[in-house]
Each structure stands twice: as structure tokens, then as C-alpha cells.
Structure 1
Amino acid sequence: MTTTLTPPSSRREDGDGSVQVHQDASLKIEEGALVIAVYGKGGIGKSTTSSNLSAAFSKLGKRVLQIGCDPKHDSTFTL
């Protein structure tokens, strides 16, 4: 699998920005694939990324189960 990360072409005044992710169009998601986002630091986008992946896979017709274990952030509101 090839994933390309492209930095934003311009920055916001507050210094925040985004990274565009472009995946290889020939990427095939295997049946029963598992995606896990784990990291100890808070506020880095794990729940947001998980919710976005869940929504994207669902739109592709995949069956998705998202389990959130973060007691401070309920990810169901982002779906």
C-alpha cells in the first residue's frame, strides 16, 4: 500500500493546518481487515481519525464496528 502525505500549501494564522492523505487508487481492503488507532497522548486526533475511517469504509459498503474506549471523548457524535 502506498500512502502519500502532502503538507498544506498555506498555514492558518494560528499555525494550525492539515495534511492531505492520498492513497494508491489500486488499494484493495481485505475482507476482515482491522484498523487500530492507539497512542497514549490525548488530543492528537485518534477518535476523529477513527470516525472518519469508519464513515469512509461504510460509504464504500463495508461493514464497520467502531469501539471507542476513551472515557473523555464519546466518538459516536462524530458519526
Structure 2
Amino acid sequence: VQERYNKMKAEGEVIVPVSKTMHRVSSEWKGMSEAEREPYVKEASRLLDEYKVKLEEWKSKIQPDDSQETKKSSKRAK
């Protein structure tokens, strides 16, 4: 979506409000065949795997006390 949005923005096709632009991008996605979607699905899967690895690395670096403090801070922010 972001790639298509940036392309539309560069070409001056972005419609305000953004919800209309997203509706247009969504319609394009629904009109794509599985073969056309495949590169995007693969990239999303790769990024998700990368995120999971980084999340586990981050979790392994924090101490149990840090984790509790983070939860407390999060609750206060709400």
C-alpha cells in the first residue's frame, strides 16, 4: 500500500481525504490476480519474519524489572 501510495503521490494522483486514496488502492488490490499479488505477499512475509526476529532480540535484552517498568509506564500513558 505504501509503495503504491508513494507512487500516486509522486504522480500527483493522491486524493484528499486520504480515505478516498486508500479506497482506490484497495480496489486496485482486489482487482489483482494471485500472481500479481505474490511479490507483495512475499515482501510482507519477509518483513514479518524480520520483525519477529528483532522483537525476540529486543525481548532478550531487557531485564525482567525493565519489562515491568515498561508495563507500568504504558498503563500510565493511557
Bigger radius of gyration, 1 or 2?
Answer: 2
**How does the TM-score come out when normalised to structure 1?**
0.28
**How does the TM-score come out when normalised to structure 2?**
0.28
Of structures 1 and 2, the one with the larger relative CO (CA 8 A, separation 6+) is: 1
Higher strand share goes to which structure? 1
